[in-house]
């Protein structure tokens, strides 16, 4: 009879029901009298403060908007002659004189004939000039200067009127500047508002930027401004130019600075949570990804938390106000944001601690008393809940750990015991799934299953051409071994042999395509991509030999050792799922696969162990040592290919490389039909080198009976 184990739902329902019954009244009183009162009172106070700051900022920035409107109306109604630079100067001078916060008021004149294909203005060559009236410094007592940029005799020039402090409009004459100014009609501050998209639109507001007037000054001395741009028309409704007004940024800090007795902290930031106004005296401006922003010297924690709160992003053009709450060091804070419509995503933020609000102290005392009264009950409930929770968390953690291991394709068995029936049932299901996956991984490449899992798709019949490196292996004289060993001994020996081979192949990122009796077919670059697949295949062949030597030296006993031959080729072959719709095999097919198999068989003719194709040699020749063995037309092919023997690592096969050089010299003589010279070189090598003996026999045959005149050196192999 199975023992009863409660479900997670039963345990938690009982726990929560007891907690709700004991604390329901207390929590209701607390929520109704304390929390609601705090939030409501705080919302009203914060709304009033953010609205006041918003009005102050909009009033301040509105000075620039008003200056644009003044200049535009004076030109539109004929009070200012747009074609007369001196008339324009007088009106711009009046705007700067009457508004100390303006750094510059400028008007760029041009005659627009139409629009270009990209929507930009098509301007007449004549009548392009700029009048800029600006303050020398940010001080109200700063001298006000004028600059005229215009074209004279085919080149741009500047005339400057530099007035003394409190100087009148015509206090000084004009002085020709020394440097040629840039074309004012080519600057984005003219091109953008003069384009088709903004012809009849509202004024264009910029973000914070350094004043163009201070371009020659060090960055820390340049003034920071907000710029307003507007295309203007004359009384006849014709486009005559663009007015530009820049207002200083430095007074924004005062609009959000805390006042005596103020418990709120206000700040101005953008929609990415970057400061626009200073919060401490040590703050400084910095270019952040193309935007000028304040980098705080020491950012107060509540402001940092407020700017990182999701409420910041709830402000939208159709929803300017957003409120939120957060905890910092166990202390609750309330935050409000209000958007500034005419800016580029600026927000006014106000943050305050709940316990700093007027009247909150009494509410906090009431809350404290409630907690004291409920503490005894909570301790009892939490003690039982903690024990339950610990068991639940332990069970859930085991489930999470096991599923995470399965996602990593680790299907090692584990215990499924758990104190709760629900957890035990889930663990049993997980273990059954792992058992199925362990069984499947013995038949299907795990890399393929992982690839299908990650792409969330099922295998379907079909394939694609892919560059692959293919390796075939075979045991020399396996039939003789099978006759000498009993079936069980043969199965045990073959299993240990294939395990060592498989481990070496997998260690290089290779995939076992299939076992063919004692033979192995492995591929690289599918299903897991690897650009260096030819190098990996060569490394795998050498590592297989090392792994087999280790196997024979450790636990092989007196059984005969298996000598293994390898063939490796790289080519573009068909890779995919082949077979019947309900029974498929993931494999590679094509001429390249057949050639790799033929290369393995060629080892028998030359007495070699590892043969590779010319395609593999071309990629791997710098990392490994090779011997050019022959030019062979394998069975089933008429065209000859160069075949190479893999000798080992480039550094560790020095002795074999020296022998290989002698062989390759003889091979060159062989290709050039100088068989006598080849025989002379090979006779000293044949005793210790099987390929040399094979080539020596062929050279002697051709020396005695020369090949026909059209012989091209290709050796035609008749055997597989």
CA distance 97 to 134: 9
What tokens does 49 get? Answer: 């403060």
Peptide bond between residue 527 and the one before it cis (omega within 30 degrees of 0):
yes
Q: Is the pLDDT of residue 363 over 80?
A: no
* CB 595, CB 611: distance < 8 Å: no
DSSP code for 345: S
How far is it, in rounded angstroms, from Cα 273 to Cα 270?
A: 6
CA 266 – CA 340 distance, rounded (Å): 14
Nearest to 648 by CA among 562, 546, 579: 546
The dihedral sign for the CA sequence 283, 288, 290, 293: negative
Domains of the chain: 77-244 (3.30.450), 252-356 (3.30.450), 460-620 (3.30.70.1230), 649-720 (no CATH)
533 is written with which tokens? 């697949």
Cα R_g (the chain), whole angstroms: 43
Q: Which residue did the predictor score with more confidence, 708 or 365?
A: 708
Give pLDDT tens digits for 117-159.
Answer: 888 898 888 889 999 999 988 787 889 999 999 998 889 999 9
Q: The tokens 């396996």 sit on which residue?
A: 478
Query: How large is the average pLDDT for residues 303-319?
Result: 87
Helices (H), 77-233: 85-98, 188-191
pLDDT in tens, 177-208: 888 888 899 888 889 998 988 877 778 888 88
569-588 residues labelled b (16+ CB within 10 A) or e (exposed): bbbebbbbbeeeeeebebbb
Which tens digits make up the pLDDT trace of 656-713? Answer: 888 889 999 999 999 999 999 999 999 989 989 999 999 999 999 999 999 998 898 8
Structure token pair of residue 158: 């500047």
Judged on CB neighbours under 10 Å (0-12, 13-18, 19+), 350 is: buried
Report the share of the chain in percent with pLDDT over 90: 39
| Per-residue DSSP letter, 219 | G
Query: What are the structure tokens assigned to 204, written together?
Result: 């264009």
pTM over the 0.85 mark:
no
CB 411 within 8 A of CB 434: yes
Over residues 525-532, the mean pLDDT reads: 92
What is the largest distance, in Å, between two alpha-carbon atoms of the chain?
Answer: 119
Spatial distance between the Cα atoms of 360 and 34, rounded to a whole number of angstroms: 9
């Amino acid at each position: 009879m199975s023992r009863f184990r409660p479900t997670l739902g039963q345990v938690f329902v009982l726990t929560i029901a007891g907690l709700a019954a004991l604390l329901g009244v207390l929590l209701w009183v607390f929520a109704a009298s304390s929390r609601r009162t705090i939030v409501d009172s705080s919302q009203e106070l914060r709304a009033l403060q953010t609205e006041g700051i918003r009005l102050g900022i909009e009033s301040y920035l509105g000075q620039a908007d008003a200056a644009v409107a003044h200049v535009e109306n004076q030109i539109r109604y004929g009070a200012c002659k747009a074609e007369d630079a001196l008339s324009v100067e007088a009106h711009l001078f009046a705007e700067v004189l009457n508004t100390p916060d303006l750094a510059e008021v400028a008007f760029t004149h041009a005659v627009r004939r139409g629009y270009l294909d990209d929507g930009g203005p098509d301007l007449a060559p004549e009548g392009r000039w700029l009048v800029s009236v600006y303050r020398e410094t940010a001080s109200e007592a700063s001298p006000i200067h004028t600059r005229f940029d215009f074209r004279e005799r085919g080149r741009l020039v500047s005339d400057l009127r530099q007035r003394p402090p409190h100087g009148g409009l015509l206090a000084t004459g004009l002085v020709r500047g020394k440097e040629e100014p840039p074309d004012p009609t080519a600057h984005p501050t003219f091109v953008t508002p003069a384009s088709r998209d903004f012809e009849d639109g509202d004024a264009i507001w910029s973000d914070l930027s350094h004043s163009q007037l201070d371009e020659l000054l060090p960055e820390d001395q340049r003034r920071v401004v907000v710029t307003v741009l507007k295309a203007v028309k004359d009384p006849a409704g014709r486009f005559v130019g663009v007015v530009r007004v820049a207002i200083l940024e430095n007074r924004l800090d005062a609009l959000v600075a805390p006042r005596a007795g103020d418990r709120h902290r206000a700040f101005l930031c953008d929609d990415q949570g970057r400061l626009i106004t200073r919060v401490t005296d040590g703050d400084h401006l910095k270019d952040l990804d193309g935007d000028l922003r304040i980098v705080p010297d020491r950012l107060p924690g509540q402001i940092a938390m407020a700017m990182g709160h999701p409420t910041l992003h709830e402000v939208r053009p159709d929803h300017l106000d957003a409120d939120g709450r957060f905890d910092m060091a166990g202390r609750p804070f309330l935050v409000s944001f209000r958007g500034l419509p005419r800016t580029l995503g600026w927000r006014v933020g106000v943050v305050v601690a709940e316990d700093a609000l007027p009247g909150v102290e009494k509410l906090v005392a009431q809350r404290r008393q409630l907690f004291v009264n409920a503490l005894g009950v909570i301790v009892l409930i939490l003690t039982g809940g903690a024990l339950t929770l610990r068991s639940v968390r332990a069970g859930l953690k085991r489930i999470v750990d096991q599923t995470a291991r399965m996602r990593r394709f680790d299907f090692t068995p584990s215990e499924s015991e758990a104190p709760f029936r629900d957890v035990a049932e889930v663990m049993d299901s997980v273990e059954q799934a792992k058992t199925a996956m362990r069984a499947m991984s013995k038949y299907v490449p795990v890399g393929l299953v992982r690839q299908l899992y990650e792409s969330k798709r099922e295998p379907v019949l079909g394939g694609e051409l892919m560059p692959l490196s293919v390796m075939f292996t075979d045991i020399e004289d396996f039939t003789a071994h099978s006759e000498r060993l009993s079936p069980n001994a043969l199965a045990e020996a073959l299993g240990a042999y294939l395990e060592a081979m498989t481990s070496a192949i997998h260690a290089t990122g290779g995939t076992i395509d299939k076992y063919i009796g004692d033979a192995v077919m492995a591929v690289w670059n599918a299903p897991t991509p690897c650009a260096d697949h030819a190098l990996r295949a060569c490394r795998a062949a050498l590592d297989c030999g090392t792994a087999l030597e280790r196997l024979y030296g450790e636990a092989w006993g007196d059984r005969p050792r298996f000598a293994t031959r390898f063939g490796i080729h790289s080519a573009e072959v068909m890779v995919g799922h082949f077979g019947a719709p309900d029974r498929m095999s993931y494999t590679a097919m094509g001429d390249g696969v057949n050639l790799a198999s033929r290369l393995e068989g060629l080892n028998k003719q030359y007495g070699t162990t590892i043969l590779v194709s010319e395609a593999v040699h071309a990629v791997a020749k710098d990392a490994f040592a090779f011997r050019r063995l022959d030019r062979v037309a394998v069975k089933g092919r008429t065209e000859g290919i160069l075949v190479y023997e893999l000798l080992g690592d480039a550094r560790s096969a020095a002795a074999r490389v020296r022998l290989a050089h002698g062989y390759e010299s003889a091979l060159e003589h062989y290709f050039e039909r100088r068989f006598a010279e080849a025989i002379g070189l090979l006779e000293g090598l044949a005793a210790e080198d099987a390929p040399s003996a094979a080539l020596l026999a062929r050279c002697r045959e051709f020396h005695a009976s020369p090949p026909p005149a059209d012989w091209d050196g290709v050796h035609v192999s008749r055997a597989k």
